[in-house]
Amino acid sequence: MKNILVTGGAGFIGSHTCVELLNENYNIVILDNLSNSKEGAIERIKTITGKEVKFYKVDLMNLFETEKVFEENQIDAVIHFAGFKAVGESVQKPLEYYENNIGGTFNLIKAMKKYNVKNIVFSSSATVYGVNNKVPYTEDMPTSATNPYGYTKVMIEQILSDIAVSEPEWSIVALRYFNPIGAHESGLIGENPNGIPNNLVPYIAQVALGKLDALRVFGDDYATPDGTGVRDYIHVTDLAKGHLAALKYVEGNPGFQPINLGTGKGSSVLEVLHAYEKACGKELPYNVTPRRAGDIAESYAQTGLAKKLLNWEAKLDIEKMCQDSWNFTIKNPEGM
């Protein structure tokens, strides 16, 4: 399987995955409507790898245009990143989230069926573990959600698993990402949130740049070692490499398989803040505020299945994640 369609390939995780695919000599076609990314990301993928990339500015909601991409290219497998991803926004705009994430996936599946492509790696999320499971999360735990974004992931996993039952030649992996952070070490591609970031590391990066005054630590009274929330942060380059391992897996393994991509190690908000201070060489101001609604105390992966099925494990530590985030941030103070 050498010809890969990457939906959402101009985005944060997609662009890093494209770099790793090109480095391993895959041919890639990127489909992205640029709703949350810029075409410049495609140029930067080319600069980093020195390779050519075919790009279609296409919206998955447009079935005709999506099918055309399959018509014009021989595709062996799809990595499906495209979707909306902001939890808070999904609560404000549930219809847009269900329509784009689930509707976009429907069209993609229809086009795949028409062109007889039956291998897909889907971007799921640790958010499907909901609030009732106990860490470390294992893939056999029941899934649930607390917001429309999370429900789109739960529902798409269900849809994909139903397809694998009804058409046993399909080979589907749902990768449940934990908390992807960091950036490519070139500093050319990274995370580029619009407006004030919601997620921890992009927020800290803006504080380090001097664009935001201080980090608000959302609660220090959790049952965790220092009282602040614990998450399984994973370097986006490690995550990207996990997709290459998953592509190899789908080649010979029909069915539906969810797999965690995390490090298995939790870091607290204050640990991440201190690692970032080390990376940027200055003290960063913070104040403790009440807990953020919907947050859980801790989330981290059981990583054994990824090791067993994909022969993949994360290698980069929180220091490297913060160094690469900072390197990207100072090289792109106004974003990409």
> What residues are labeled active site?
149
Instruction: Indicate which single residue of 35, 62, 158, 198 sits in contact with ligand UD1 (rule: CB under 6 A).
Output: 198
**CA pair distance 192, 38, nearest whole angstrom:** 10
Q: Total residues contacting ligand UD1 (rule CB under 6 A)?
A: 20
**CA-to-CA distance for 336 and 334, rounded, in angstroms?**
7
Q: Residue from 73, 144, 199, 224 that binds ligand UD1 (CB under 6 A)? A: 199
Q: Which of 140, 153, 69, 74 is nearest to 108 (CA)?
A: 69
C-alpha distances out from residue 11 to 34, 84, 192, 198, 336, Å: 8, 11, 9, 17, 11
**What residue ranges in the chain does DSSP mark as E strands?**
3-7, 27-32, 54-57, 77-80, 119-125, 171-177, 179-181, 215-218, 230-231, 233-235, 255-261, 267-268, 286-289, 298-299
* 12: partner contacted, choices ligand UD1, ligand NAD, none (Cβ within 5-8 A by kind): ligand NAD
Stretch that binds ligand UD1, among 59-67, 73-81, 293-301, 317-325 (CB under 6 A): 293-301
Query: Which of 282/292 has CB closer to ligand NAD?
Result: 292
Q: How many Cβ atoms sit within 10 Å of the Cβ of residue 132?
A: 9
Residues numbered 145 to 184 that lie near ligand UD1 (CB under 6 A) are 150, 179
DSSP 288-325: EEPPPTT--SEE-B--HHIIIII-------HHHHHHHH
Q: Residue 8 or residue 111: which is nearer to ligand UD1 going by CB?
A: 8
Binding site residues, ligand NAD, CB under 6 A:
8, 10-14, 32-37, 59-61, 81-85, 100, 104, 123, 125, 177, 180
295 binds, among ligand UD1, ligand NAD, none (CB under 5 to 8 A by kind): ligand UD1
Q: Judged by CB under 6 A, which stretch of 91-99, 186-194, 216-224, 245-253 contacts ligand UD1?
A: 216-224
Among ligand NAD, ligand UD1, none, the one that 10 touches (CB under a kind-dependent 5 to 8 A) is: ligand NAD
Site map (CB under 6 A) of ligand UD1, residues 218-247, x = contact: x----------x-x----------------
How large is the angle between the packed helices 269-280 and 200-209, nearest 10 degrees? Answer: 40
- The verdict on 333 binding ligand UD1 (CB under 6 A) reads no
Report what 218 binds from ligand NAD, ligand UD1, none; CB cut-off 5-8 Å by kind: ligand UD1
Query: Which CB sits closer to ligand NAD, 82 or 280?
Result: 82
Rounded Cα–Cα distance for residues 260 and 264 (Å) = 9
